[in-house]
Amino acid sequence: MAKKLKQHKQVGEEYLQGAPTTLSQSLSVPASVVWNAMLDGPAWTEWLPLDSVEWTSSKPFGVGTTRTVQLGKDIVEEEFFGWEDGKRMAFRFNASPFPLSAAVEDYRLKDTSNGCELLWTFKVSAIFPISWILQAKIKSTLKNGLPKLESLILANPERFGG
């Protein structure tokens, strides 16, 4: 049985200021192709340990778009507050069963001569040591997942436009 969802603070751009957790990863595919993979809800479950990712807003996606992510029996409701097609998506956790008051993730893509650079920023507010544990765990999970994302894209050029 899923745990009851707790509403989180409706933070946005200002909350990202001074975010302590970032990760930069070079990928050998263009930003536009990585972007297409990031718009593919089921693809997220192929490179991260997520059970489902479902967009709950209609296209075109942008600021205000929502989606639901399932991790085991737990659900996270997300809302996008930053969006630049092909370049950036940033969202906050609107609700989850986790003991936190706020959390955001920001994904930015920039083309390079060899493909693209993905810059990820994460910030969470929770009591210590929960905040530290969540930051370390999510960063590690993403760092391990990004090579899988690259492999998924390279193995499925028709799916992502590669």
Cα–Cα nearest to 70, from 96, 94, 104: 96
Given the structure tokens 């990863």, which residue do they identify? 25
d(Cα 55, Cα 110) in Å, to the nearest integer?
24
Contacts of 2 (CB under 8 A, 6+ apart): 73, 74, 75, 97
Sign, Cα dihedral of 153, 122, 143, 116: positive
Give the pLDDT band of residue 119 (cuts 50, 70, 90).
Answer: very high
What pLDDT does 54 receive?
98
Q: Is the predicted pLDDT of residue 126 greater than 70, yes or no?
A: yes
Instruction: Kindly report the pTM of this predicted structure.
Output: 0.96
What pLDDT does 20 receive?
86
**Percent of the chain topping pLDDT 90:** 94
pLDDT in tens, 25-51: 999 999 999 999 999 999 999 999 999
Cβ-count burial 69-108 (b if 16+ within 10 Å, e if not): beeeeebbbbbbbbbeeeebbbbbbbbbebebebbbbbbb
What pLDDT does 28 receive?
98
What pLDDT does 19 receive?
87
pLDDT in tens, 133-162: 999 999 999 999 999 999 999 999 999 996
What pLDDT does 18 receive?
87
The overall average pLDDT reported for the chain is 96
Give the pLDDT band of residue 1 (cuts 50, 70, 90).
Answer: low
Contacts of 48 (CB under 8 A, 6+ apart): 141, 142, 145, 148
What pLDDT does 43 receive?
98
Domains of the chain: 6-160 (3.30.530.20)
What pLDDT does 2 receive?
63
d(Cα 62, Cα 80) in Å, to the nearest integer?
7
- Integer-rounded Cα Rg, in Å, for the chain is 15
